[in-house]
Chain A
Amino acid sequence: MAVEEFEPRIVAFMCNWCTYAGADNAGVARLESPANILPIRVMCSGRISPELVLRTFREGADGVLVMGCHLGDCHYSSGNHRTIKRIPLLKSLLGFAGINPERLQLEWVSAAEGPRFTQVTKAFVERVRTLGPLSEEVAA
């Protein structure tokens, strides 16, 4: 598959109170976000277990974004403290296992940060596009 034709499929886990509202904010402001972003809403980024991320890759996502509130802003006060420890650890593990760790990204996007949402998602889609489809990195 030529690189130009490859449209990465990115599953983005968004926390309900910050990122999901931020994505709405982007939409209301009529800012463009890439269609490659496949959103899944959860109540808190702390809900995202390593199992869910791994299953998402298993299902064929080329990239996974885990997004939540900035530190100190978590609607549930400290849910994102666990996210910030878990996701970078999982990224390292992917790298150790020979899977490009850049396919997994943690980002904080708040409810008022519509423009940041579009910027972050656009950048991630382009990065994953250069990495190529996941199927080329893991056994077919």
Chain B
Amino acid sequence: MNEQPVPSIIEAIRQTVAERLQELDGVVGLRRSSEGVAPHVFQQGDDLSELEIVPRYPLTTVVSRLHKSFPEIRLGIVARGCDERAFVEMAKRNQIDPDRLFILGIACTAEEAEECHCAAPFPKHLVVGKPVAPGSPNPVVAEYDNTPLAKRNAFWRRQFAKCIKCYGCRNICPECFCEDCAMEDPAWVEPGLLAPPFPVFHLIRAMHMASRCVACRQCDLTCPAHIPLTVLYDLMRRDMEATLGYIPGEDIKAPPPLSVTLNEAPLLVNTGHMD
């Protein structure tokens, strides 16, 4: 994940950014400086040899803040498949303006696709790179239906026991935009209590992510305790697709299914309450 990409890809991206900067107010990307790699808004005249595409970092929050603070600004963004899907979901929630965002899409490498178990390792607005095949599915997720409840219970008890409530998963998530987070609300999550007996902390996040998670894996990568959060979220995504036919980030016109009526987003599966 952290090895340098093939030089021609990075050169192609820098070239594209240079061209697009002629018509855009800025391009959001990652910049390498003496202090490390960090988000940056490249503008005309910047040294584009400093533009990097690894390590992966979700730039949706940057775009969101820029769009809100500067209602006229037109931005480009260097984006992978998951970034583009994140933008679609954020656009549905009025956090970014899709008319003022131009996606300079890059394809992930085969190694990156495999690491992420990614089903769609390239954006629809692909500019640089060739689409690779999807990564193989996560074996834990694939085998989950055959895993008995007691085993699942033991697995997650052990995993959640490691959680130190650093909020890294929430902070890094490209879909999280709330100023007041339910995970910090003392009504739901008691302050000062680690490894709560009932994992409200984690389950609230999973429910909020159900119609939004684009499987970017940033939460997994960020968690200092290496809790495999995306196993849970992958299962939720599978459920959303099976019951409501919804894949986050797939269709900007599809309304958030949990918020609309059954006429607008019907249940595809009979849960036994259709009367």
Residues of A within 8 A of B (CB): 50-51, 54-55, 57-58, 70-71, 78, 81-82, 84-86, 88-90, 92-100, 106-108, 134-135, 137-140
Residues of A within 8 A of B232 (CB): 93, 96-97
| B153 touches which of A99, A108, A140 (Cβ 8 Å) | A99
Within 8 A of A (CB), among B226-247: 232, 235-236, 239-240, 243-244
Query: What class of interface size applies to chain B in its complex with A?
Result: 35 or more
**Residue ID in chain B nearest A107 by CB atoms:** B273
Q: How far is the CB of A132 from chain B (nearest CB, A)?
A: 12
Of B200, B240, B257, most A-chain CB atoms within 10 Å: B200
Not counting A55-B187, A97-B202, A138-B198, a sample of 4 additional A-B residue pairs whose C-beta atoms are within 8 angstroms of each other reads: A51-B204, A88-B243, A89-B239, A98-B151
Whether B157 contacts A139 by the Cβ 8 Å rule is: yes
* Bound complex: CA A50 to CA B210 (Å): 12
Any A CB within 8 A of the CB of B167 = no
* Bound complex: CA A85 to CA B255 (Å): 14
Residues of A within 8 A of B244 (CB): 85
* Bound complex: CA A77 to CA B244 (Å): 20
Q: How far is the CB of A67 from chain B (nearest CB, A)?
A: 11
Any A CB within 8 A of the CB of B152 = yes
Whether B267 contacts A96 by the Cβ 8 Å rule is: no
Whether A98 contacts B144 by the Cβ 8 Å rule is: no
**Residue ID in chain B nearest A96 by CB atoms:** B235
* Bound complex: CA A122 to CA B21 (Å): 68
Whether B154 contacts A96 by the Cβ 8 Å rule is: no
Residues of A within 8 A of B274 (CB): 71
Q: How far is the CB of B208 from chain A (nearest CB, A)?
A: 8
Whether B153 contacts A98 by the Cβ 8 Å rule is: yes
Chain A interface, DSSP helix/strand/loop, else mixed = helix
Of A51, A57, A108, A138, most B-chain CB atoms within 10 Å: A51
Any A CB within 8 A of the CB of B5 = no
A sample of 30 inter-chain contacts (CB < 8 A) reads A50-B207, A51-B182, A51-B188, A51-B204, A54-B188, A54-B198, A55-B188, A55-B200, A58-B200, A71-B275, A78-B261, A78-B262, A81-B262, A84-B273, A85-B267, A86-B258, A88-B273, A89-B243, A90-B207, A92-B235, A93-B203, A93-B207, A95-B149, A95-B152, A96-B144, A97-B153, A97-B156, A97-B206, A106-B271, A139-B161
| A98 touches which of B152, B257, B260 (Cβ 8 Å) | B152
Whether B210 contacts A58 by the Cβ 8 Å rule is: no
Any A CB within 8 A of the CB of B155 = yes
Whether B235 contacts A89 by the Cβ 8 Å rule is: no
Residues of B within 8 A of A96 (CB): 144, 152, 232, 235-236
| B197 touches which of A70, A100, A140 (Cβ 8 Å) | A140
* Bound complex: CA A90 to CA B187 (Å): 19
Of A71, A82, A85, most B-chain CB atoms within 10 Å: A85
* Bound complex: CA A80 to CA B254 (Å): 21
**Residue ID in chain A nearest B260 by CB atoms:** A81
Residues of A within 8 A of B197 (CB): 58, 135, 138-140
Residues of B within 8 A of A85 (CB): 243-244, 257-258, 262, 265, 267
